Amino acid sequence: MKSSNASPSDVHRRLAWGWLAVVTLLVALLVVTLPKARLDSSVLSLLPASSLGKIPPQIENGFLQRLDRQMMWMVSPGDKPNDEAAAWWQTQLQQQPFLQGVQGPMDAKGQQEWGEFYFEHRNGLVDTQTRSRLQNGGEAQAQWILAQLYSAFSGVSGKELTNDPLMLTRGSQLALQQTASQMRLMNGWLVARDKQGRYWYLLHGELKGSSFDMQQGREAVEQLRALQHKLKQQFPQAQVMSRGTLFYSDYASQQAKHDVSTLGLATVIGVLLLILLVFRSVRPLILCVTSVGIGALAGTAITLLCFGELHLMTLVMSMSIVGVSADYTLYYLTERMVHGGQNSPIASLRKVLPALLLALATTAIAYLIMILAPFPGIRQLAVFAASGLIASCLTVVCWYPFAVRGLPVHQVPCRHWLNAWLDAWQHNNAVRFGIPLALLVISLGGIASLKINDDIASFQALPQDLLREEQAITALTGQGMDQKWFVVYGDSAEQTLQRLEKLAPALAKLKADKAIDSYRLIPLASLEQQQADLQLLREAAPVLQKRLAESGITVSAPNLQQMAVTPDVWQKSVISSGWRLLWLSLPDGKSGALVPVSGVHDSQQLGQIAAKIPGVGWVDRKVMFNELFSHFRSLLATLLAAAVAAIALSYVLRLGVKRGLLSVVPSLLSLGGGLAALALSGHALNLFSLLALMLVLGIGINYTLFFSNPRGTPLTSLLAISVALLTTLFTLGMLVFSQTQAIASFGIVLSCGIFCAFLTAPLALPPSTQGKGKRES
């Protein structure tokens, strides 16, 4: 195997230096590529390109970031209208450094500006209803104007008739009032009244800055809570409800923090105690961390080299796969611990090398199969996992023979138990056949009762009080947080508005057909539409004047000049307040408009409508996530099956049909056992369970191959596997206790899966070494 001129030790020294050079190179590579690399955290980019649509990512992200910053409050003084508490709350919010644009009531000046803008731009702000009345010469508009004039309660004044004889301002105001929310204006405040008769005053604002880290989010939430207490002291009857993504992200990070602090402590103590007990040294721990660390380093560098970017989700998943490589270190170290007395470090390496390389090759093949997946995210995962595992393994092979000098050598702990276990596998049919058969039955039973659930909402139990407040606010304002909307986009603002106008009739029809409850369309027309409206006005004006004259009403000639309203002018004006969120213009002119839709009954139907109009995309975040999850789940299931097939094939080619197939049994039973545990614990299969299965597969391969190594000692292998099992249980297995359901189900599959792999791994014992276990140790 090695050159005969140099001593094995010299060769190995060169290997070690060579590997150091490679690692240095990888570090250099990472230093060069990392600053340029894009760490992608958008879940959307994991979606297959076809379902993503053609919504420009800057527009999509722009809207999402902006929406994530929004905050909304409703302050109730009690069942008597009084805006003192709300005004106090507004003053307090305005003093918070983390908030900006806090808005409460529209003052008299604002209201006046509002009216003025509508009046001065009346020819450019024609509403849909007025437009339809102006069609066919304007007869309907004449009737409408007369009705307004004759109505005692319409409040038409002589001044209005003189200044705006076509009553366009009145028309657009009334149209706006009809689309407006269920709220009324009181003293400039938007106010809603709930079923118990309480008044609720609306305020809104946004978080300053686009990204909020965990700490800042925590402080902001605590500050708001403190303010709420103060409000209660000042106004004992008052109540506040809040809504914003901030509260959910803070809740999630609090929960994660709780998980990390409680589970993390258990992990550290557990692993440390285990390693100390088995090896009587902390060095193995350091070596495990080193090899996994180098694996992660190599994985990141190579993936960035190949793809130029890395997805956050890939990174997290790949890291855990590379974490499995700690098994390599443990296997070698166990060998050293038991046989360090009689063998040199290099001789020990030779003993475990075939198993290590085989395990590496098999696992790498299993993960590399995933490169066939049509998603960049999964391909990145394949490359990351394969290169990371290789680097990890090479670290063990090249460096650790030098790192293990002086490691305490002692006998296998609990050897009676371990020997008895091995014995039973060889001589006791109840064990040899009974355990796999029992596992098979349990697996089949479990899998048969397995339910699939890709509903993202079921992955995490959201806090009840947050949900209650959100629902209450939605009921009061009529504005939900459904996150269902059309995104209309174009190369220019004008193109976007024209596309919006093509969508509008479809929306009106959907609402009339009761396919949706409501939608919010920005009240702004394209210049093309404004020009057409002007034409309508010019045609209708003489008819209108004539009709009014017949009723004895003489009016001055209306102003029929163009009064163009561009998105730019509109956004700067007071009339866009409350609507600005729905419009986005990028510096290069690309623009987008959001059309939130509520009460959607058939998300798919809306998707089809969007597909028919160029520049319109339908976004249903919940459905999209569910689809994404189900898509990845089935994809991973296919890939997993392919990986198992590849592994089986490699075993059969190497060991022959009978032993090959026998060796694949532990892998199959571990997968089945994991799934059965999931079903029996009442969880449903989702993407996270599949990810756990991928790890189970990799770990199962290690256990099987460590056992099937003809040069190895079964007892040592068993010890190595036991330590590896316990380490994994202490680390990833701890996730069973996570409060987040998705993570807990991941932990269950993983823990039970690898335990089954551990139970059945002795099946792979080579026939030649059977019975040797007792003699050698």
Partner 1 sequence: MNRIIFLALLFISCTASAITLDDVQRSFASQPVVRAKFQQDRQISGMAQPLHSSGEVLIAKSKGLWWQQQHPFPMTLVLDDSHMAQIMGNQAPQIITADSNPQMFQFNHLLRALFQADRKVLDENFSSVFTDQGKGQWQLVLTPITTPLDKLFSTITLQGDKHLNRIALNDLQGDFTEITFSNHRLEPRKLTHEEQQRFTF
Question: For binding to partner 1 (CB under 8 A), which residues are involved?
Answer: 133, 140, 143-144, 146-147, 149-153, 155-159, 161-162, 177-178, 180, 182-187, 193, 551-554
Shortest distance in whole angstroms from residue 137 CB to partner 1: 14
Instruction: Tell me the closest approach of the beta carbon of residue 101 to partner 1, in angstroms.
Output: 25
Only one residue has tokens 């020009």, namely: 531
Nearer to partner 1, 181 or 426 (CB): 181
Instruction: Using the minimum distance from each CB to partner 1, give the nearer residue, 159 or 514.
Output: 159
Closest CB 190 distance from partner 1, rounded Å: 10
Q: Where are the alpha helices (DSSP H) in 404-526?
A: 415-427, 429-432, 434-448, 464-477, 493-512
- Asked if residues 302 and 294 have their Cβ atoms less than 8 Å apart, the reply is no
Smallest distance from partner 1 to CB 195, Å: 12
Backbone angles phi, psi at 376, to 5 degrees: -55, -40
What CA–CA distance (Å, rounded) separates 635 from 629?
A: 10
- Separation CA 689–CA 155 (nearest Å): 66
Q: Which is nearer to partner 1, 22 or 87 (CB)?
A: 87
Q: Are 202 and 192 in contact (CB under 8 A)?
A: yes
Cα gap 126→501, rounded to integer Å: 13
Residue 185 beta carbon to partner 1: minimum distance, rounded to whole angstroms: 6
Query: Which CB sits closer to partner 1, 199 or 706?
Result: 199
Q: Which is nearer to partner 1, 161 or 435 (CB)?
A: 161
CA distance 570 to 523: 10
Q: Considering beta carbons, is residue 192 or 294 the nearer one to partner 1?
A: 192
Least Å distance, CB 582 to partner 1, is: 20
| Tokens of residue 346, six digits | 């290099």
Residue number with CB closer to partner 1 (185 or 273): 185
Between 174 and 642, whose beta carbon lies closer to partner 1? 174
- Which helix (H) or strand (E) covers residue 532, if one does? helix 527-550
DSSP conformational letter for 594? E
Q: What's the rounded Cα separation, in Å, for the pair 99 and 70?
A: 10
Least distance (Å) from partner 1 to the CB of residue 511? 12
The least distance separating partner 1 from the CB of residue 111, rounded to whole angstroms, comes to: 10
What the block records as the tokens of 530 is 């404004």
Judged by CB, which is closer to partner 1: 48, or 115? 115
Residue 347 in tokens: 């001789």
Tell me which long-range contacts 463-470 makes (C-beta under 8 A, separation of at least 24).
463/251, 466/247, 466/248, 466/251, 469/241, 469/242, 469/243, 470/243
Phi, psi for residue 378 in degrees, rounded to 5? -75, -35
As measured in angstroms, the least distance from the Cβ of 146 to partner 1 is 6
**Is 378 in contact with 635 (CB distance < 8 Å)?**
yes
At its nearest, how many Å lie between partner 1 and the CB of residue 602?
A: 23
The candidate with the shortest Cα–Cα distance to 2, out of 333, 340, 350, 405, is 350
Percent composition of the chain: helix, strand, coil (DSSP 3-state, to 5): 70, 10, 25
Closer residue to partner 1, CB minimum distance, 183 or 227: 183
In the chain, what is the greatest distance between 2 CA atoms, to the nearest angstrom?
A: 120
| Per-residue three-class SS string for 335-377 | HHHHHCCCCCHHHHHHHHHHHHHHHHHHHHHHHHHHHHCCCHH
Q: Which is nearer to partner 1, 97 or 158 (CB)?
A: 158
Determine contact, residues 426/771, Cβ cutoff 8 Å: yes
Calpha distance 154→152 (Å, rounded)? 6
State which residue, 11 or 156, has the beta carbon closest to partner 1: 156
- Strand-strand pairing, 616-620 and 484-490: antiparallel
Q: How far is CA 511 from the centre of its chain?
A: 31
175 vs 715, beta carbon nearer partner 1: 175
